[in-house]
Amino acid sequence: MRHHETNLLPLTLTSLTTASTLKQPAVFVECDTSESQMAQAAVTSAGEMAAKAAASIRANNVTSLFQTFFKTTDSTSTNHVAEILEEIAQEASQQGGGLATYSCQPDSITCQSGSFTQTGYASKDGYRGQMSTCPAYFQLPQASDDCSVLDQRMSSLHELCHTKGVLGYEVYGYSNMLGLDSQTPLKNAESYAFFSKCRCFSFMCHSSYEYMSFVC
């Protein structure tokens, strides 16, 4: 993924041991009016994408697409991904009453820049989660119908994945994500984010050259 000729690093994960280190859950904090509007719109859209992707998995009508992004179609894996996406959809629909806090500032983390430009990060204590954003997040397009392009709603979905327990080796970018082995995608938030976005828009699936067309 690229932005102003730098690779975008959409999320860094930190683990917390106590809930007391987190802000109050499910509110937007440290945002000016414009930032709050963009962040809330992105989270809402992320939830809608997650809900429709989960529903498609449950209906068994995205088998080829699931195979492309998660390298398997076994029932345990499809059920796991659907459950995570349903939790994200539920969280996004309860802004102000869920389990996550959304900050429009980087807070205590130094945002990386250079060959990778960090757009946000998430932390969790096993129950509640906190997501914070770097300045580069607000320079992303709010929405892009190109499956391979990182936008604000996809970055937010990536972060929400971490607050729902998608933890593990991180691989960023569309091409890198498609090249993962069969053991990694279920632990890689980028896979969930790209799968959900590509479920919603017409695109050419690069690995199988199978044309998929959906509408969100």
pLDDT tens for residues 30-66? 999 999 999 999 999 999 999 999 999 999 988 899 9
**Is the predicted pLDDT of residue 216 greater than 80, yes or no?**
no
What pLDDT does 201 receive? 67
* Average pLDDT of every residue of the chain: 78
Bind-site residues:
158, 162
pLDDT tens across 199-209, in order? 876 443 333 33
Domain boundaries along the sequence of the chain: 28-201
Pick 105 or 123 by higher pLDDT.
105
Pick 158 or 123 by higher pLDDT.
158
Q: DSSP letters of the chain?
A: -EETTEEEE--EEEE-S-GGGS-SSS-EES--HHHHHHHHHHHHHHHHHHHHHHHHHHTT--HHHHHHHHS---HHHHHHHHHHHHHHHHHHTTTTTSSEEEESS-TTSPPP-SSEEE-EEEEE-SS-EEEEE-GGGGGS-S--S-TTS--HHHHHHHHHHHHTT--S----SHHHHHT--TTSGGG-HHHHHHHHHHHHS-EEETTTTEEE----
Q: Name, of 70-79, 93-102, 105-114, the range with top average pLDDT.
A: 70-79
pTM exceeds cut of 0.85? no
The torsion angles phi and psi of 67, rounded to 5 degrees, stand at -60, -40
- How many CA atoms lie less than 13 Å away from 30 in the CB half-sphere? 16
pLDDT tens across 108-152, in order? 778 877 655 688 888 766 667 888 899 999 999 999 888 888 899
> Is 30 annotated as catalytic?
no
Q: Distance between CA 9 and CA 155 in Å, rounded?
A: 10
**CATH topology assigned to domain 28-201:** Collagenase (Catalytic Domain) (3.40.390)
Bind-site residues for Zn(2+):
158, 162
Q: How far from chain centre, in Å, is Cα 201? A: 16
Least-confidence region, from 2-11, 100-109, 160-169, 178-187? 2-11
- For residues 150-159, average pLDDT: 92
Among 21, 20, 11, 14, CA closest to 123: 14
Q: How long, in residues, is the chain?
A: 216
User: 85: pLDDT confidence band, cut at 50, 70 and 90?
Assistant: very high
**Is the predicted pLDDT of residue 79 greater than 50, yes or no?**
yes
What pLDDT does 127 receive? 63
Q: Which of these is catalytic: 48, 86, 159, 190?
A: 159
What pLDDT does 28 receive? 85
